[in-house]
Every structure is written in structure tokens, then in C-alpha cells.
Chain A
Amino acid sequence: MSDRYRPPPPPPKKSNRDYQKSSGSGLAAASSSGPYRSSFGGDPYKPSGRRRPDVYRPRNDTYTPGQSGSRPDYRDSEYRGDEDGGASIGSKRSFVGTPSGPRGNRKKNKKAPDGERRRGDFRGGRAGRGDLRGGRGGRGDLRGGPNSNSSKIPHASSGTPNNESLTRNQLYAIQVIRSSRIYQRVQQVGEGTYGRVYKAKNTITGEYVALKKLRLESEREGFPITAMREIKLLQSFDHENIVGLLEMMVEHNQIYMIFDYLDHDLTGLLTHPDLVLEESHRKYIFKQLMEGLNYLHKKRVIHRDIKGSNILLNSTGGLKIADFGLARTMKIVNDGESPDYTNRVITIWYRPPELLLGATDYGREVDIWGVGCLLIELYSKVAAFQGFDEVGQLCKIYNVMGTPTLEEWPNIQNLPWFEMLKPKVNTASKFEEKYKSIMSPDSYDLALKLLALNPSERLSAEEALEHDYFKNEPQPEPLMFLKDVEGEWHEFETKQRRRQERKRLHDEARANKSTAPRTQEQVGTDQIDRVTTITKSVSEVTADDGADTLPGSTTSIAPPSLTSVPKSVPESEATQDI
């Protein structure tokens, strides 16, 4: 039986049929916020409540108040019966006409000479399905009684006998063509292997959302299972520091995930040339990050792509962790078993040493390393370990943290690639000289504990929240000044601006080259300084008339100075383990 319609419900109130009103955004998608969701969940039916819009009902079904009121039990059982769609093996009930499932009934419907017979048939199919769920005895008794199904049939079907096709209100899902778009795209704010992210405006509510368009062209095997995993995880979250999946949308064979929209991301914001963060602000950001991560870890979820551009911030510094494209729930393994995850996760700058050495039996600690890197970044504004590949990344880490000693990490020698990347010298930790001066004593201590080389020595998210950093003064404070920050700061835009700058530099350098080929060597560095000053003055100008320009439009964003910007962050790896 197709999912497109469902068997008949108990007699409803005719006046309450409002399928159209309830279809949420009006698109051919199940809105997660509208009444659709509650009907999907199979909430117990309440006679006084709103009518389910998605159940099949023959057109001639009429409602008699007296009858309905006198059969509450029957109705309840009927309702439960139709929740378990799918089971269509025949009924053994004797009073109904056919023993076969609904499909058979439908065929018979056409031949049936009178409405009464047809009606009975239909109910028969349904009763059978309900029966499969067990509890047959009790319900059977009810039906056999004076209020039973069969006694109602003549009345119910005495209306119009012609009932060949379904009407609109009998359909379970209807595609409604709207003349205008619900979501008006404003601009692109992100891109990755998964697809693209756009900022968009909901034209009905006026709110901004983020549209994540799934990349489907390359998928020959149907809907990507990784996206499925992401959606499933997102649906299970409910926390203020985790990005919320508002709904899914299908449009022109494209699938969109619709999220809360936040103005900034951490990487983008930290590239703002004039941004000055106080200790209380950093604490506010980092506390929320740890709260969000603690929530995930409590739910046995590993994020596996912690990095600045996945940490979103709103205009008061409210924080949400986003992008669960690589996240997964942890397996439950017996003693001695390895969970055997892929180590091709986490953007390389934020990848912990055990993953760089090929571990496949890691756990939540891999996220902790990432937030440790971000804590440093809140102070230094640049990523702590910027390696180009696995070898370089590990070298960068050893350079700052020192090579692991026997006491620190005895079991490192059991990691698959340890022999391949075995240090041949011992280096000391330079963490103190590098970061002690720019961090507060508490944050320095916390960072050191989050960035323990040995994963088993790293603090858990819960332990981190107990750290003195969050207890001592100053207390966390929202970043109210962000409201005045011009434009929106995402890594994507920062990168784009940088790319444009580089292109301009390149073009100018080429122009210079053709005019004065001999000074070619000097052009590079001179040019950078010049362009930096130019763009700065441009930004001051645009900041003044920024009120007129649309928020988020590229013209109103002050380009950061080239010198203060870190290298572009490598894209996170896309492949996931199966």
C-alpha cells in the first residue's frame, strides 16, 4: 500500500479540516515545527484536539455528534491501529467482508454495488492491521458491542455512493505550488565538500536562516548516508549551544537543511582587525563552547570537526556548535574490542596527535584537543598549529608541546604510524614561553590540560567546566559590543576577501612587471603594504555609510589587513567511515 494515503479515521469534525493551514511552510516538505510533526509522531488522538490532516477519509463520511461521543474507546483503538502502517497481512475478523489487506479492498471497492458493502470492506482492512499489534481480545469485544463498527456502517455510508478517487483532503501529502519563495537567498556564507551554505530570509516571518544545500549531483547511490547521519543527529539535539535544525526542504530536486542563522563564526570574527576581546568575553565564549561540547559528549556524540569556522556566534556572543557532517555516536564496545573509527576526520590544524598517528580507537578526547586549540586562538587570534599535511602538523605540535616522554605517553608506541613518524630527537615544550605571556594564568593552565599529548590525560568536557578558569573573576560576560560590529564575519567571507586581495595583488604585480620588469622582485612585499593601507581606508569609508547598505552585503564588510590574517584553513575531510 502506498504511503500517499492512510485508512479512514474515526468520524471527525468537518469544520476542522484544514490541511492547508497546517502544512507549515507550504512547501512539499514535512515541517518539523508545524502540526505535521505531531501527526508523524503518532500522538494519541484527542477528540477535542486538532484534526490530523494526513489521514484518508472517504468523501461521504459524515459526522454524527452523538455517535462519536459515545465511542471514545473504539476511536482510540482505531487510531492506534492506523499508526502501524505497513503491516498489511490479512485480518481474521469474521464480521468484515474480506480477509485481505487494504490493497485488495481498494480493488474490490470499484466492484462493490453499494456504499454499505464498500464501507465495510474498507474497515475490514483496517481492522486487520490494527489487530496485528496485539491486544486483540479487548478491542474485539468493544467492536462486537452495541457501539461497534458494524452498527455504524449503514449510517456512515448512506451519503453519496460514488467514491472512486481521493479528494484533496484525503491525501497524506500534497505539493502546493506557491507563487513566491518562502526563503529568499541573500548570499553564500559557506562551502565545503557537503555542498554550500546560504544565508536566506524567511519571507513569512522575516527571520534569517541558513540554508545548507546538500550536494547531490555526485551521488549516484541515492541520498548520501552521511547526510542521513547528520540529520538524525541534529534531530536528537536540544541545547542552546548546539545549532538547531529548523526543517528540511525539498525544492527542484535539491535538498536543503534549514538552520538558525548566526552572524559570525569564530574564525571569521577573530580576523576582524579591530576586535578587542576582554577576559570576560573570552570566558563567555569558551564556557558556552564547553557547555555545548559537554552536552554532545554526554549524549555519546563525538563532533569530529571542531574548528573555528564551525563555531557560530550571534550578535551578543551567544554560541552554537555547528556542522555535524562528520559527527557520530560512539559505539558500545566490549572490553578488548576496538571501536574502529576512521582517522580521516577533523581539519588538520585541529587534529590531535593520536589521529595523526593513525589511531582508530579514539574517543571524545579528539574534540577536547580541538577546543584546546580554540582556547589559545581566543588569545592569540591565530591557529596554534598550522601544518600543511600530517607530517608537518605533527612536527608543529612537537615543536610547541615537545616530543612525548615515556611518563607523558607510554602507549604512543602502539599507534599504527608511530614507527613511521618516530621522533629521532627530543624537543622541549615551548608552550610556556609562547603562550604564558599572552594568556591569563587560569586560561594558560586550562589550555595546557586540554592540550595534553596523551589523550587519556586530557580533561573531559565536564572536568574542564569545573576548572578554576570558570570560577575565578572575571565572570563571563556577553559580547554586547558585537551589535555594533559592521557586517558579518564568517571564515568563508574572510577567505573570499583574501582571495580577491590576492588576485588584485597579482594583477597589479603583473601590470607592474610589464611596465618595469627590473623591479619585479620588490613588487611582492611593497605591494602588500600598499594594498593593506588602501583597503583599510576603504573600510573606513564604507563603515560610515554602512547603515544604508544591506547587512551582510560584501560592500559593507571591512576587509581585514592582510598581515593580521592567518593562512586559510584547509577544508575538512569529507569521507566518513561507513
Chain B
Amino acid sequence: MDSFEAATQFSQILRALTPALPNLVRAAHFALKYSESEDYLFPSIVDILHDKNIEINTKSTIFQFIEVLVNESFYFSKQPKYNYPYIQSIKEALPQMILCVLPGTNNANIHNVYASLKSITKHFKIECTSYIEEFDSDLLHEQDLESLEKDLPFPDVNLEDELEFVDPLVSAWKLLVRKKRQSQYERVRLLKHNEVINKEITEDDVFNIKEKTDRAPDRLSKRQILARMEDDREGHKRSKETLWLVNRPVNSTYITEDEFLSHYWNKYNALTPEDDKAFLSSLEELNALVGDSYKDKQF
């Protein structure tokens, strides 16, 4: 297969991608198999994310695929044959991709993007923990509160907002946090400025559901929402399938001492100073009790 054919086929695979993990892995392996044609294959990923006719459920799947691709690429690169294919291009394009997966004010994919980006970040030696922690906190600035009073919409999140000379991964995180802030802002704005309805409402009244006539790909129909929930649940279930994996030498059927130790070491926290004190004092008490039980003085 020449590069062009590979790119065409890859594009087809991506358009029909479902979020089941085996499918994602298969697509990633395809990309890695033709990694010498990276210059042809990578643009098809970007093209699909930019395609206005692709529904945002698929875009979320593509972002999950990117996570898998990064993982697999790092894994493959343990062999000398591979030299971290796609990694650099993906990293450079991350901020752009995030904006494609979270278009306009529709942040339906934000949780999945957050989870994927968190997993991608683990491979790079770039400090992003502050963003990860920040993500679930109250992000509204004082300035936001002022604009909220005036009932102004949140300014559009653009790529240019974060074009300082930082690592693309960091600006990806900054954009994502900004997106989350946008979402929080819009929720508060709605609660603050919209009237409270006191009559019976339908699903279409409450939620942002795409109607049948509506062609906008950025909104989800009810069917798509339900499908997405099911996909997320399935993915969640799959993610647990590797929980039982252990790190054990080949051909060893026994639990090693190290494994046993690290299991229990990780399972329990260090005692707090108070607990430690309580433990030692009750141990002392016990020792004294035992000591007293001897007829003769011990020690």
C-alpha cells in the first residue's frame, strides 16, 4: 500500500470509528504500521476533527483514539524500529484539536477530553498537575463575576488566547481549563439572569437536544446522548479489565514478596501523628500489662 492509499483507508477507519477499545487499538496499530507515511496519515486526523459534518460524538471518539495512539506509540517505541511516531505532531496540534472537539459553547465532550488529556500528559515530563487539580475547582475570576452582573456572554475561546511561547501541552491544558471556566460561567449566568419557569416542561425545553430538522452537527440528538452514555459506561467497564494485572516475572505462579509488600504498602496510608501516638501508647500499655503478668520482674 502506498502512502496515499494508506491515508485514504485510515481516513475511512477514523470516520467509522466506534469508541470500543479494541477498535481504537486497531486503528492505532494501523497508524503505527504505516508510520513511515506519517506525513500523509496525520493530516487526515486533523482534517476529520475540522470537518463540520462530523458529529461531535465521533470527535470525542477521535480524541480518545489520539490518547490510545500516544500510548501505543510510546509502547511500540520500546523497539528500536520505532522512534516515537506521531508523538511530536500530536503534541503540536493538541490545542487546536481540543478546540475542535469542544466547539463554540458546546462542552459536551469536556469530561472525556479531560480524562484523555490527563492520560496523555503522563507520558511527557511536563508539569501539569496544577491544571489537573484546577479543573474541578471553582474557576470564576473577579472579572467574570463583574461580567456576570452585566449578563455578558463568555468571550469565545480561541487558539490565539494561549499563544504565548509555552509548550503546546501546557497551552492545551490552559485552553481546557478556560473551556471549563466558560461552562461554569454560562451555568451561573443562566441561573442568575433567566426567569424561573413554573410550568410543566418537556425534555426539549430543558436540555440542548438536537431536533430532527436541525442539521447542526455540534448538537446531540437524544439518541446520540443515550448512545454516548452507553459508550462511556462500556469504556469505563473496559478500563477496569486490566485492574487485576500484576507485575510479575515470567513463569512465576506465586505472589512474590515484593508484590505482596507493595500491595499492602500502597493500600494503607501512613499513620497521622495522632494515630501514631495512639498506637504507640496502646502498645506501651499492652507491654506494661504483659510485663506485670510475670511473677518476676522482667528486664
Contact = CB atoms under 8 A, between A and B. Distances in A.
Given A414-B136, A426-B190, A342 B225 contact: no
Contacts of B190: 423-426
B209 interface: yes
B203 interface: yes
Range for the number of chain A residues in contact with chain B: 35 or more
Contacts of A392: 203
B187 interface: yes
A398 B183 CA distance: 20
Interface of A is mostly: loop
B241 A395 contact: no
Contacts of A193: none
Contacts of A422: 183, 187, 207-208
Given A343-B233, A424-B208, A425-B201, A419 B183 contact: yes
Interface string A381-422: 000000001111011001100110110001001101101111
Interface string A339-362: 010111000000000000010100
Given A392-B203, A578-B237, A425 B197 contact: yes
A427 interface: yes
Given A340-B240, A426-B191, A390 B226 contact: yes
A201 B184 CA distance: 60
A416 B111 contact: yes
B202 A395 contact: yes
Nearest to B208: A424
Contacts of A114: none
B206 A423 contact: yes
Interface in B197-246: 197-198, 200-203, 205-209, 220, 222, 225-226, 228-229, 232-233, 236-237, 240-241, 243
Range for the number of chain B residues in contact with chain A: 35 or more
Interface in A423-452: 423-428, 430
Nearest to A573: B233
A391 B223 CA distance: 10
B197 A391 contact: no
Given A424-B190, A424-B208, A575 B225 contact: no
B55 to A, nearest CB: 13
Contact of A419 (B107, B202, B205, B229): B107
A424 B197 CA distance: 11
A226 to B, nearest CB: 13
Nearest to B115: A416
A15 interface: no
B164 interface: no
A340 to B, nearest CB: 7
B296 to A, nearest CB: 23
Nearest to B209: A391
B229 A425 contact: no
A334 interface: yes
A266 B232 CA distance: 33
Interface string A440-472: 000000000000000000000000000000000
Contacts of A416: 111-112, 232
Contacts of A577: 236-237, 240
B206 A413 contact: no
A416 B135 CA distance: 13
Contact of A428 (B109, B187, B198, B225): B198
B226 A391 contact: yes
A306 to B, nearest CB: 20
Interface string B164-197: 0000000000000000000110011011001111
A395 B204 CA distance: 9
A427 B206 CA distance: 9
B21 interface: no
Nearest to B108: A420
A414 B184 CA distance: 10
B17 interface: no
Contacts of A405: 191
Interface in A555-574: none
A424 B232 contact: no
A199 to B, nearest CB: 35
Contact of B225 (A344, A391, A403): A391
A419 B226 contact: no
A359 to B, nearest CB: 11
A334 B208 CA distance: 37
A-B pairs, 9 with minimum CB distance: A416-B111, A420-B108, A419-B107, A395-B203, A428-B198, A426-B196, A428-B196, A419-B108, A414-B136
23 contacts: A334-B269, A335-B269, A340-B240, A342-B237, A343-B233, A343-B236, A391-B225, A395-B202, A395-B203, A395-B207, A403-B206, A413-B183, A413-B184, A413-B187, A419-B107, A419-B183, A420-B228, A423-B206, A424-B207, A427-B197, A427-B198, A428-B198, A575-B237
Interface of A: 334-335, 340, 342-344, 358, 360, 389-392, 394-395, 398-399, 402-403, 405-406, 410, 413-414, 416-417, 419-428, 430, 575, 577-578
Given A414-B136, A417-B229, 12 more contacts: A358-B229, A390-B225, A391-B225, A395-B201, A395-B207, A398-B206, A419-B183, A420-B108, A421-B207, A425-B197, A425-B205, A427-B196
